[in-house]
Structure 1
Amino acid sequence: MIYLEYNFKIDPAQPASDILIAELGEVGFESFVENDSGLLAYVLKSDWKEDILNDLFILQNPDFEISWTVKEIEQQNWNAEWEKNFHPIKVGGECMVRAPFHEPGQVVYDIVIEPKMSFGTGHHETTHMMLQHILNTDFAGKSVLDMGCGTGVLAILAKMKRAESVDAIDIDEWCFLNSKENVERNNCKDVNVYQGDSGLLTDKKYDIILANINRNILLEDIPIYAKCLNSDGLLFLSGFYLEDFDAISSKCGAYGLEFEKKIEKNNWISTKYVN
Structure 2
Amino acid sequence: MADTIYIGYDFKVSPLQPGTEILIAELGYAGFESFVENETGVTAYIQKGDWDAFILDNIQILNSDEFEITYQFNEIEQTNWNAEWENNFKPIDVDSLVTVRAPFHKKPNTKFDLVIEPKMSFGTGHHETTYMMIQHILKNDFKNKSVLDMGCGTGVLAILAEKCGAYKVDAIDIDNWCYLNSLENVERNDCHHISVYEGDATLLEGKSYDIIIANINRNILLLDIPTYAKCLKANGMLFLSGFYNEDVSIINSKCKDFNLTLKDQLERNNWASLMLKK
Do both proteins adopt the same fold according to a TM-score greater than 0.5, normalized to the shorter chain?
yes
SS in structure 2 of the partner of residue 204 of structure 1: coil
Aligned to 2:23: 24
Aligned to 1:271: 274
Equivalent residue in structure 2 for 1:165, among 164, 168, 172: 168
Aligned partner letter, 1:147:
M
- Looking at structure 1, the residues matched to 120 and 189 of structure 2 have their Cα atoms a distance apart, in angstroms, of 18
Contact 1:146 1:169 in 2 (8 A): yes
Aligned to 2:51: 45
- Looking at structure 2, the residues matched to 137 and 249 of structure 1 have their Cα atoms a distance apart, in angstroms, of 20
Deviations 1:211-266 (A, max 9, x none): 00111111111001001111100000011111211111111110010011111112
- Looking at structure 2, the residues matched to 267 and 57 of structure 1 have their Cα atoms a distance apart, in angstroms, of 21
Q: Report the CA distance shift for 1:37/1:255 in structure 2 as closer, same or farther (over 3 A).
A: closer
Contact 1:79 1:116 in 2 (8 A): no
Percent identical among aligned pairs is: 57
Q: Which runs of 5+ in 2 are unaligned?
A: none
Aligned to 1:119: 122
Asked if 1:59 is matched to 2:65, the reply is no
Contact 1:2 1:45 in 2 (8 A): no
Equivalences, count: 265
Deviates further, 76-85 or 165-174: 76-85
Write out aligned runs for 1:159-238 (5 A): 159-238=162-241
Asked if 1:71 is matched to 2:58, the reply is no
How far is 1:118 from its partner?
0.4
Aligned to 1:110: 113
How far is 1:27 from its partner?
3.2
Contact 1:31 1:119 in 2 (8 A): no
Q: Report the CA distance shift for 1:202/1:19 in structure 2 as closer, same or farther (over 3 A).
A: closer
Aligned to 2:243: 240
- Looking at structure 2, the residues matched to 139 and 185 of structure 1 have their Cα atoms a distance apart, in angstroms, of 21
Aligned partner letter, 1:270:
S
Contact 2:20 2:41 in 1 (8 A): no
Q: Report the CA distance shift for 1:114/1:90 in structure 2 as closer, same or farther (over 3 A).
A: same
Contact 2:162 2:169 in 1 (8 A): yes
Aligned to 2:84: 81
Deviations 1:18-45 (A, max 9, x none): 4442231353246532458864334563
Q: Which runs of 5+ in 1 are unaligned?
A: 61-66
Aligned to 1:64: none
- Looking at structure 2, the residues matched to 167 and 75 of structure 1 have their Cα atoms a distance apart, in angstroms, of 39
- Looking at structure 2, the residues matched to 204 and 177 of structure 1 have their Cα atoms a distance apart, in angstroms, of 23
Aligned partner letter, 1:268:
W
- Looking at structure 1, the residues matched to 65 and 55 of structure 2 have their Cα atoms a distance apart, in angstroms, of 15
- Looking at structure 2, the residues matched to 114 and 73 of structure 1 have their Cα atoms a distance apart, in angstroms, of 24
Equivalent residue in structure 2 for 1:250, among 253, 266, 269: 253
SS in structure 1 of the partner of residue 68 of structure 2: helix
